[in-house]
Amino acid sequence: MNSIELAIFQSSVHSIAEEMGAALRRTAISPNIKERRDYSCALFDRQRRVIAMGDHMPVHLGSMPLSVEAVVFAMRLEEGDIAILNDPYAGGTHLPDITLVLPIFIPGVAGPSFYAATRAHHADVGGMFAGSMGPAREIYQEGIRIPPIRIVSGGVMNAEVLSLILHNVRTPKEREGDLAAQIGACRVGERRMQELVSKYGSAKVDELSDALLAYSERLMRAQLRTMPKGRFEAEDFLDSDGVTDDPIAIRVAITFDPENAAATVDFAGSSVQVGGSINAVYAITYSACYYVFRCLLSDDAPAAAGLMNPITVTAPEGTIVNAKPPAAVAGGNVECSQRIVDVLLRALAKAAPDRVPAASYGTMSNLTIGGWDARFNAPFTYYETTAGGMGARPGMDGIDGIHCHMTNSLNTPVEALEYAYPFRVRSYSYRAGSGGFGEFRGGDGLIREIELLADAQVTLLCDRRRFQPYGLAGGDGGKTGLTRLIKPDGGSEELAGKCSIHAKRGDLIRMETPGGGGWGVEGCSRQRHDL
């Protein structure tokens, strides 16, 4: 084994994961997968350790292995089987994220040698609210819950399972097409891994996989050796769960042990799980940790399981960061995940102040608008997240209006939006002055104003309405977010961060997203650099 063989192997398996992603994007039907690219593909060795993952969604980083783990725990996969799941309490994250797992067999080798997995965010999985992202109170209201079961058995699609799933979603044709695309993507992974094995031999590929995992572990350990010894604590809050007004605490202690090149992350002291839908299951919490430590390495480090070997993550059961049934969890993926990152960064900044940015906007400002479009005589459902300001970095201002941390989805162009929905966008701009002051300024948030040209149900899932994105090293916090409903007569009301209301034709929804926190104490008259 040498560094060259390993470099080529790493590149080859990464290329397979990317190719799975391209196949999925190419053959999926829904815009959410094709355009917003809300999916991930990964490959695992026989011990269910990630050996390659495409450069897809950060929130899926650490949570996909738990899906494979859950499948293997639940059943014995044979050749030709493909398992499906979305249950957040058995390997999933939130119900819209459906994961497929295919075992890869090599002739002459007993049991699966590898696994290929694809995860995609499906635009609807049933439940009380179109889009399955609404303010539910229990998981039973959030959509169909699929434990690990076979959707393909012995190479044949399990029509009964498929039928059950499709009978429980609002857009069955689209779901069927997207699931077929996921199956196709898994098969791309299977075929390419088998080709790789026939090129190198099974024993050699095992050896290379081990070497790749050891290599990724070395990368992380080299990093951990540079961290200061000690325990670093932090806390931050989610505003509320949308049911009560109680703030929700997330607390963490990161302990670095540079001699042993190890770290532990402990979420003890975090609030108990809540009645609203912003609970995170452990997979989300683990993903957020994975993301944060991943960012300490260079941008091209492979997303292989060895990275997390030196790191232990514990989250007490029944809390906001390790929710148990029947807690509703749709927003855990989008809101709680961002706050977990904020808390981790805040603790990390105490250990390595020069390497950590202040808090970014910290909420995906999820907006769902549904109603009847008279132009097409058809119902419509619009869902979008709006970016905010990036936290200031030591030495650099934060970036204005850009997606940070656990998401990176694109916006919908104004012109595309007005073609597709009965809306008129009145403005889309930076929210000047919303970034926190400091030696380095936090990035500004965004303002987006949408005028409704039809009556509609408007659902918000937003945070950072009460607790500002924090500054660091003396920098000010970023401004909190704000959503207003403005009536045609000019009257207006502020909407709660998490709510669902009936709005009228002519009403204007004005979304102002939070700015990023500042970094350092503001100097006498430092000119702000234009970003």
Partner 1 sequence: MRIAIDTGGTFTDIVYLRDSKLVVLKVFSTPADPGKAVLDGLRQVGPRSSVVVRHGTTVATNAMLERKGARVAFVTTKGFEDTIAIGRQARPKLYDWFQPAPDCLVARELRFGVTERVGSNGELLLAVEASELKDLVEAVGGARVEAIAVSTLFSFANPESEVKIAEALAALGLPLSISHRILPEFREYERASTVVANAYVAPKVGSYIASLATKVAAEYEHGRLEVMQSSGGIISARIASAEPVRTMLSGPAGGVIGAYKLAKLAGFDHIIGFDMGGTSTDVCLVDATGPRISNESMVTGIPIGVPMLDIHTAGAGGGSIARFDAGGLLRVGPESAGSDPGPICFGRGLLPTVTDANLALGRLDTDRFLGGAVTLDRARTMWMMEQAKGDLERVEEFAAGILRVVETSMEKAIRVISVEKGHDPRDFTLVAFGGGGPLHACALARALQVPRVLVPVLPGALSAVGILLADTMREYSRTVMKGIDADLEQVFAELERIGFAEFEAEGLVGESFRSVDLRYTGQGYELNVPFGPEMAQAFHALHQRRYGFANKARPLEIVNVRVRLLAAGDPFKPPRQAVLEGDGSAALVGTRDVYFDGGLHETRLYERDRLHAGDVFAGPAIVSEYSSATILPPGDVLRVDTYGNLVIEVQA
Question: Which residues within the stretch 78-97 sit at the binding site for partner 1 (CB under 8 A)?
Answer: none
The residues in 340-369 that bind partner 1, with binding defined as CB under 8 A, are 355-357
Per CB under 8 A, 311 contacts partner 1: no
Task: In angstroms, give the least distance from the CB of 229 to partner 1.
Answer: 20
**3-state secondary structure (DSSP) of residue 23:** helix
Q: Are 442 and 426 in contact (CB under 8 A)?
A: no
Asked if 409 is part of the footprint of partner 1 (rule: CB under 8 A), the reply reads: yes
Three-state SS at 327 = strand
CA dist 334 and 385 (Å) reads 9
HEC profile of 461-491: ECCCCCCCCCCECCCCCCCCCEEEEECCCCC
The nearer residue to partner 1, 366 or 386, going by C-beta atoms, is 386
| Binding window for partner 1 (CB under 8 A); candidates: 128-136, 422-430, 464-472, 491-499 | 422-430
Considering the complex, state which of residue 157 and residue 301 has its C-beta at the smaller distance from partner 1.
301
Tell whether residue 22 is a contact of partner 1 (CB under 8 A).
yes
Among 76, 299, 490, 491, binds partner 1 (CB under 8 A): 299
Contact between 462 and partner 1 by CB under 8 A: the answer reads no
Site map (CB under 8 A) of partner 1, residues 512-531, x = contact: ------------------xx
> Is the CA virtual torsion 25, 29, 33, 36 positive or negative?
positive
Instruction: Pick out residues in 259-298 that bind partner 1 (CB under 8 A).
Output: 291, 294-295, 297-298
Beta strands 39-45 and 50-53, pairing class: antiparallel
Stretch that binds partner 1, among 100-108, 271-279, 327-335, 414-422 (CB under 8 A): 414-422
Nearer to partner 1, 402 or 499 (CB): 402
Instruction: Tell me how many residues contact partner 1 (CB under 8 A).
Output: 76
Smaller CB distance to partner 1: residue 93 or 279?
93
Query: Exactly one of 17, 29, 311, 511 binds partner 1 (CB under 8 A); which one?
Result: 29
Contacting partner 1 (CB under 8 A), which of 7, 164, 272, 521?
A: 7
Say if residues 319 and 248 touch (Cβ distance below 8 Å).
no
Q: Which of 46, 187, 218, 505 binds partner 1 (CB under 8 A)?
A: 218
- Looking at residues 119 to 178 of the shown chain, list those that interact with partner 1 (rule: CB under 8 A): 177
Three-state SS string across 289-326, please?
Answer: HHHHHHCCCCCCCCCCHHHHCCEEEECCCCECCECCCC
Nearer to partner 1, 253 or 297 (CB): 297
Using H for helix, E for strand and C for coil, what is the string for 354-392?
HHCCCCCCCCCCEEEEEEEECCCCEEEEEEECCCECCCC
- Residues between 378 and 397 with contacts to partner 1, criterion CB under 8 A: 386-387, 393, 395-397
Cβ contact 51:209 at 8 Å: yes
Residues 427-456 close enough to bind partner 1 by CB under 8 A: 427-430, 446, 449
Q: Which residue has the tokens 């002055």?
A: 433
Cis before 326 (ω within 30): yes
Rounded Cα distance between 80 and 457, Å, is 44
Q: Which residues contact 89 (CB under 8 A, 6 or more apart)?
A: 139, 281, 324, 325
Binding partner 1 (rule: CB under 8 A), the pick from 167, 410, 433, 488 is 410
By CB under 8 A, residue 19 contacts partner 1: yes
Site for partner 1 in 180-209 (CB under 8 A): 180-181, 184
- Contact status: 377 vs partner 1 (CB under 8 A): no
